[in-house]
């Protein structure tokens, strides 16, 4: 039996890695998640047959309730709300890792009260110094990830003010973090119940305080970071429990998540330190004011412009998703293609709220991938583009990122929309974008503004083109 | 028993594997992949089951119960949202080449 369980864990770890590998290519991605899912089921079922376990009823209730809550919420959530759902589920995983650490520490505290060198690894009544250290480290990371992810969820869900800043915040956070490390060290040294409780309370607090000052624009990077941290925490707790599947899966996710975090931060031209300690929104109002005025265009003129163009590039942003305009835009695209216009989509790496989020939203509307271009591929093509249609995007097409060193987004790679012969911007109002920065593109000579709700405006264009 | 250098080997090789897999991934898949890796650390459920399975005091049982609840949520929720996202990618046409 023992052999069979171990083999199941081995199979699960293998399926996770192969599944993740398949998920990294669009063709095999769907199969990848299924493989990983099979691995998860195998590992979970095998765990029920481990020797010397009890509390099976509690276990089943917790699994059923947890699964049902997650299943229903996961099925219901709109594609636009995906980032916060990932944050939520990730937070749950972090909390679970924290709970594993807590049980290990409390039971060792009750039994021996101190980390003992003679304790056998994987025992459930004692911890040696290595396993106690990893239990504390995993619990710290997991718990911070738990409360931090919940704050990220609440922020993206709009339940919480975007920012929470007070003077000396970083100093306070730093001191609390040092105190947390000290408490954790003390808990390893002397497995004292009071110290362990204080340690967990402080870890929860640090997670909240760390995430509160971070603005909405940086949230994807933070979620990705917490995802990596949860993986690491799972790996550490896996060592404590001597569970190979947890060690391997957790560490793979820890590393993959770190890589993904770096890729995202790079796409936004932000260092990780800057994201965590930079207070993006606080400086967002800065930057030079933009001269000039916006020029309006009406839907019929815009429709003519696009219908008789040779090439059109559509630049969708998060506003498109908010307005649920993906389907209308795809209809518009089909109408234009029928007329022989070459239509492509240009996607900024951070369009939407996570890298790739916009691709998901367009895929939902049925836009095929081969019409969608990345930043590097499309930027040289803007010069030869007749009309660039910007819909719901703002900061990612703002040329001040290239021209104004005082701007908070200076240096961020942008889509060179302003190089197109004509630019039409569909926008709800005259306000600034997610980061609160004035957009020079809107005032450019070749830019015309089409004011209106994204979905409505797209509909106007479709109707007008039908009548041409 | 995984101890000392054996643990170090496993951690290192698993970390390299993770880096290698993500390193060559197109931006188009970043969101589903983040969600997918989020699902994979749902394996924490197994650990939480073990922790609850060996819990003796009421305190340990309560924490273990919460752990299993959260772990199950991570695994199931992660799977559902990842699958939903990837399914849409498929429906956009099988014969088309990936971006």
pLDDT digits (tens, 9 = 90+) for A6-62: 999 999 999 999 999 998 887 788 899 999 999 999 999 999 999 989 999 999 999
In angstroms, the CA A146 to CA A97 distance is 9
Can you give the residue ranges of every domain in chain A?
1-76, 78-277, 293-466
Q: Which residue has the higher pLDDT, A415 or A374?
A: A415
Among residues 43-62 of chain B, which lie with CB inside 8 Å of chain A?
A: 43-57, 59-61
CB count within 10 Å of CB A76 equals 10
Is residue B10 less than 8 Å (CB to CB) from chain A?
A: yes
One of 2.60.120.10, 3.30.930.10, 3.30.1860.10, 3.40.50.1220 is the CATH number of A293-466, namely 3.40.50.1220
Torsion angle of alpha carbons B60, B63, B66, B68, nearest 10°? Answer: -50
Chain A residues closer than 8 Å to B74 by CB: 70, 89-90, 92-93, 96
The nearest alpha carbon in chain B to A78 belongs to B81
Backbone angles phi, psi at A367, to 5 degrees: -75, 125
B24 in reach of chain A (CB within 8 A): yes
- B6 touching A (Cβ < 8 Å): no
Q: Which of A229-233, A428-432, B17-21 has the highest mean pLDDT?
A: A229-233
- The answer to whether A58 contacts B42, with C-beta atoms less than 8 Å apart, is no
Interface contact A90, partner B, CB < 8 A: yes
Contact residues for A276 (Cβ-Cβ < 8 A; gap 6+): A210, A214, A222, A225
Give the confidence band of A192 by pLDDT, cuts at 50, 70, 90.
confident
Catalytic residue check, A395: yes
Q: Does A254 touch chain B (CB under 8 A)?
A: yes
Which residues face A424 on adjacent strands? A389, A448
In A140-169, the residues whose Cβ lies within 8 Å of chain B are 146
Catalytic residue of the set A395, A404, A445, A453:
A395
Token pair recorded at residue A210:
């760390």
Considering only alpha carbons, which residue of chain B is nearest residue A30?
B86
Chain A neighbors of B40, CB-CB under 8 A: 16, 19-20, 36, 231, 249, 252-253
Chain A hits for B68, CB-CB cut-off 8 Å, are 58-59, 62-63, 66, 96
Q: Compute how many other C-beta atoms are within 10 angstroms of the C-beta atom of residue B68.
A: 32
> Shortest Cα distance from B5 to chain A (angstroms)?
13
A361 in contact with chain B, both atoms CB, cutoff 8 A: no
User: In sequence order, what are the beta bridge partners of A451?
Assistant: A427
Residue A406 has pLDDT above 90, yes or no: no
Instruction: Answer whether A374's CB lies under 8 Å from A299's CB.
Output: no
For residue A211, is pLDDT > 60? yes
Which among A71, A138, A130 has a CA at the least distance from the CA of A102? Answer: A138
Out of B25, B72, B92, closest to residue A368 by CB: B92
Q: Tell me which chain A residue has its CA closest to the CA of residue B46.
A: A44
pLDDT of residue A289: 63
Specify whether the CB–CB gap between A17 and A252 falls below 8 A: yes
Best of B73, B89, B91, B94 to mutate (most A CBs within 10 Å, chain A): B73
A373 touches chain B (CB under 8 A): yes
Give the model confidence (pLDDT) of B22-64 as tens digits.
877 777 778 888 899 999 999 999 999 999 999 989 999 999 9
Is pLDDT above 90 for A260? no
Chain B contact present for A108, CB below 8 A: no
Mean pLDDT of chain A: 87
CB contact under 8 A, A121 and B40: no
**Does the CB of B5 have a partner CB in chain A at under 8 Å?**
no
* Sign of the dihedral through C-alpha A261, A263, A267, A270: positive
- The most confident of the ranges A128-142, A151-165, A436-450, A452-466 is A128-142
Integer distance in angstroms from the first to the last C-alpha of chain A?
Answer: 73
Q: Are A224 and A253 in contact (CB under 8 A)?
A: no
Q: Which residue among B34, B80, B92 sits closest to A75, beta carbon to beta carbon?
A: B80
pTM reported for the whole predicted model: 0.82
Residue A68: the pLDDT is 97
Nearest to A231 among B31, B41, B67 (CB): B41
| The Cα angle at residue A13 between residues A10 and A14, in degrees rounded to 5 | 85
pLDDT at A241 (0 to 100): 94
Q: Which residues of B touch A88 (CB under 8 A)?
A: 77
Measured CA to CA, the distance from residue A370 to residue A316 in angstroms comes to 16
Contact A364 B88 (CB under 8 A): yes
Which helix H or strand E contains A387, and what residues bound it? strand A387-391
Q: Given CB atoms, is A360 within the 8 Å cutoff of chain B? A: yes
A55, A79, A85: residue with CB nearest B77: A85
Distance CA B15, CA A447 (A): 48
Band of residue A121 on the pLDDT scale cut at 50, 70, 90: confident
């Amino acid at each position: 039996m023992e052999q069979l369980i171990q083999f199941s864990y081995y199979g699960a770890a293998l399926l996770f890695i192969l599944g993740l590998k398949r998920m990294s290519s669009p063709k095999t991605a769907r199969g990848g998640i299924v493989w990983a899912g099979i691995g998860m089921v195998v590992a979970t079922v095998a765990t029920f047959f481990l020797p010397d376990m009890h509390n099976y009823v509690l276990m089943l209730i917790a699994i059923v309730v947890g699964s049902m809550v997650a299943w229903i919420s996961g099925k219901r959530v709109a594609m636009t709300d995906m980032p916060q759902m990932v944050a939520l589920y990730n937070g749950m995983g972090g909390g679970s890792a924290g709970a594993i650490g807590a049980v290990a520490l409390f039971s060792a505290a009750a039994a021996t009260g101190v980390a003992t060198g003679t304790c056998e690894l994987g025992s459930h009544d004692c911890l040696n110094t290595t396993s106690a250290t990893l239990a504390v480290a995993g619990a710290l990371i997991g718990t911070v990830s738990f409360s931090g992810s919940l704050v990220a969820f609440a922020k993206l869900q709009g339940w919480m003010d975007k920012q929470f800043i007070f003077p000396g915040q970083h100093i306070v956070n730093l001191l609390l973090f040092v105190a947390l490390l000290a408490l954790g060290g003390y808990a390893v040294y002397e497995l004292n119940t009071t110290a362990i409780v204080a340690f967990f309370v402080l870890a929860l607090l640090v997670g909240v305080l760390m995430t509160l000052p971070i603005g909405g624009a940086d949230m994807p990077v933070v979620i990705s970071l917490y995802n990596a941290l949860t993986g690491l925490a799972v790996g550490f707790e896996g060592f404590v429990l001597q569970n190979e599947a947890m060690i391997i899966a957790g560490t793979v996710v820890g590393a993959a998540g770190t890589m993904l975090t770096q890729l995202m931060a790079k796409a936004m031209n932000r260092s990780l330190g800057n994201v965590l300690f930079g207070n993006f929104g606080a400086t967002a109002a800065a930057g030079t004011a933009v001269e000039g005025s916006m020029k309006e265009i009406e839907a019929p003129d815009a429709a003519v412009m696009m219908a008789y163009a040779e090439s059109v590039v559509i630049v969708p942003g998060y506003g498109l998703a908010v307005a649920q305009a993906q389907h209308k835009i795809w209809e518009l695209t089909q109408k234009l293609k029928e007329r022989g216009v070459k239509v492509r989509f240009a996607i900024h790496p951070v369009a939407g709220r996570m890298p790739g989020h916009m691709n998901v939203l367009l895929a939902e509307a049925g836009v095929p991938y081969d019409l969608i271009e990345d930043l590097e591929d499309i930027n040289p093509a803007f010069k030869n583009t007749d009309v660039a249609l910007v819909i719901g995007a703002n900061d990612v097409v703002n040329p001040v990122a290239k021209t104004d060193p005082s701007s908070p987004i200076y240096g961020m790679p942008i889509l060179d929309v302003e190089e197109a012969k004509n630019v039409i911007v569909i926008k709800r109002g005259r306000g600034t974008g997610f980061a609160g920065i004035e957009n020079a593109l809107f005032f450019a000579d070749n830019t015309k503004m089409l004011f209106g709700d994204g979905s409505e405006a797209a509909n106007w264009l479709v109707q007008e083109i039908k009548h041409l | 028993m995984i101890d000392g250098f054996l643990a170090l080997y496993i951690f290192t090789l698993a970390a390299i594997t993770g880096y290698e897999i993500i390193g060559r991934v197109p931006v188009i898949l970043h969101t589903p992949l983040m969600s997918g890796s989020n699902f994979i650390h749902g394996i924490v459920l197994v650990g939480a089951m073990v922790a609850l399975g060996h819990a003796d005091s009421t305190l340990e049982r309560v924490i273990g119960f919460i752990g299993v609840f959260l772990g199950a949520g991570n695994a199931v929720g992660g799977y559902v949202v990842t699958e939903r996202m990837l399914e849409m990618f498929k429906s956009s046409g099988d014969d088309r080449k990936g971006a």
